[in-house]
Structure 1
Amino acid sequence: MNNLNRFLESTLLRATMTASEVELLIREAIEEQFVGVCVPPFWLKKVRRELGEESIQLVTVIGFPFGYSDTATKVFETKKAIRQGADELDLVWSQTAYHSDMNWPKIELAQIAKICHEEERILKVIIETANLNEQQLTEACLICEDAGADFVKTSTGYASAGAKVEDIKLMRETLSSSVGIKASGGIKTLDFALELIKAGADRIGTSSAKAIMDAWRKG
């Protein structure tokens, strides 16, 4: 693989993150030409300004980290993030509605997918795989695809577990080839990142993107 950097989305979503950490994230992303950087909405305008014309996707999160917000709030967050320069929106779906056997997650996702696509933005839906059994994971993927999601993403990083190879394999078997998979949560090493890519992940969201690239260059 000669383009590992184009799988890596460098992520910084800690409660205590500082401006200097954000600046380092941007510098490393430009140096390594990562496919994207993922930051909280608070930092969107700064990162958009600093990235300039770089071919790096600016990613942010909506309804993070539990997806509890109502649809109107998520719609507002989405529209504001787009105005502030986000290229891709990582939306935490309504876990509470899904686990209550409501049809609401699909309705909500379809509404937000429409907004994103009208603005030529990418919607990635975080389904929090740690909270799903195999049957639920398959169902969740199909709901996301039917609603118009561009990617299905494993984790926020705030659940009991993050990305797993077996989950990625099941997701790839379930989703059509037109829907991407973003593996995230607990991805710290090169070997694990490569396992996930081999299993079917199109993106790797990680706070260890630079360390992974350094390990890859060392062979």
Structure 2
Amino acid sequence: MPDEPVTAAAIARLIDHAILKPELTDAEVDADLDLAARWEVFSVCVRPSDVPRAVARLAGTPVAVGTVIGFPHGTTSTAAKVAESRQAIADGASELDMVLHIGRLRSGDVQAVADDVRAVVEAADGRVVKVILETAYLDDDQVTAGAKAAEAGGASFVKTSTGFGGGGATLHHLALMRDAVSPAVRLKASGGVRGLETLLEMRAAGVDRFGTSATETILTDAQRLESGAAASGAEDASSY
């Protein structure tokens, strides 16, 4: 992963563009969806009620539509998370980012956490499920236990944060998560990923996907870096 090129297109395919703020108007959601389509990011992660809107507006683009489950606190019942997952899938979502039950994890009830995850994974019926740990609320042992519980429940990804919990992704937590799960489980960094330098550091540490609302800033900087590298290469070639 560290050897991958720094091009705007390559970086865009690592990004889940977050459109989750509760106060966003329909017009603001549409503008963000158009931004995602313009940059051809991997996916958008939208509020559950916006899934049909996103699916319709992004039709014909390579951008996938994901949404959140049990967001942002993770404290809804397993039955509610399952119902929310089924509705999201019926509306056209292809990826689900669920918040695990943070309080149960901190209480040491890892089995309940894994069971909660497994129920959503089963409802997802083969679609990608990313499990949000909300690492800002956890100590190191809990981060490790949460990541392991997510894998035990069948998650495709473990993810750091909602972006609404007062803290975001850190290299320290990402290293703990990477060590806790098998190579089959991928990593998503979310919360505080606002610049290209941070993204590249985390990509080098093994992160596979990034949740951010700073997509345009990151990709504009990647585009500049790409243009600079191309210009430098042309200058080098002309010196021969």
SS in 2 for 1:158: coil
Q: Percent identity?
A: 35
SS in 2 for 1:4: helix
- Describe the superposition over 1:156-176 as per-residue Cα deviations: whole angstroms up to 9, x where unpaired: 111121000111122112221
Within-5 A mapping of 1:33-44:
33-44=40-51
Please give the alpha-carbon distance, in whole angstroms, between the structure 2 residues aligned to 1:5 and 1:48: 19
Q: Does structure 1 conserve the Cα–Cα contact (< 8 Å) formed by 2:163 and 2:190? A: yes
Q: Does structure 1 conserve the Cα–Cα contact (< 8 Å) formed by 2:117 and 2:153? A: yes
**2:181 corresponding residue in structure 1:** 175
- Describe the superposition over 1:124-158 as per-residue Cα deviations: whole angstroms up to 9, x where unpaired: 00010111111111111111111100001100111
TM-score normalised to structure 2 length: 0.88
What is the CA distance between 1:53 and its match in structure 2? Answer: 2.9
Please give the alpha-carbon distance, in whole angstroms, between the structure 2 residues aligned to 1:182 and 1:149: 12
- Describe the superposition over 1:77-125 as per-residue Cα deviations: whole angstroms up to 9, x where unpaired: 0000000010100001111222222221111111111121x2x311000
**1:57 corresponding residue in structure 2:** 64
Q: Does structure 1 conserve the Cα–Cα contact (< 8 Å) formed by 2:155 and 2:185? A: yes
| Bigger Rg, structure 1 or 2 | 2
**1:86 corresponding residue in structure 2:** 93
Paired residues, what number? 217
TM-score normalised to structure 1 length: 0.96
User: Please, which runs of 5 or more residues in structure 2 have no aligned partner?
Assistant: 226-240
Is residue 153 from structure 1 mapped to residue 168 from structure 2 by the alignment?
A: no
SS in 2 for 1:149: coil
Moved more, 158-167 or 147-156: 158-167
Please give the alpha-carbon distance, in whole angstroms, between the structure 2 residues aligned to 1:78 and 1:69: 12
- Describe the superposition over 1:49-88 as per-residue Cα deviations: whole angstroms up to 9, x where unpaired: 1111322121100111001101111111000000001010
Is residue 105 from structure 1 mapped to residue 113 from structure 2 by the alignment?
A: yes
Is residue 5 from structure 1 mapped to residue 41 from structure 2 by the alignment?
A: no
**2:122 corresponding residue in structure 1:** 114
Please give the alpha-carbon distance, in whole angstroms, between the structure 2 residues aligned to 1:58 and 1:173: 29
Please give the alpha-carbon distance, in whole angstroms, between the structure 1 residues aligned to 2:119 and 2:74: 15
Please give the alpha-carbon distance, in whole angstroms, between the structure 1 residues aligned to 2:180 and 2:81: 27
What is the CA distance between 1:207 and its match in structure 2? Answer: 0.4
Letter in 1 for 2:22: A
Is residue 47 from structure 1 mapped to residue 54 from structure 2 by the alignment?
A: yes
Letter in 1 for 2:64: Q
Is residue 73 from structure 1 mapped to residue 80 from structure 2 by the alignment?
A: yes
Letter in 2 for 1:177: P
Letter in 2 for 1:101: G
**1:216 corresponding residue in structure 2:** 222
Within-5 A mapping of 1:11-22:
11-22=18-29
The two structures, once aligned, show a CA RMSD in angstroms of: 1.1
Please give the alpha-carbon distance, in whole angstroms, between the structure 2 residues aligned to 1:72 and 1:141: 22
SS in 2 for 1:204: strand
Moved more, 143-152 or 161-170: 161-170
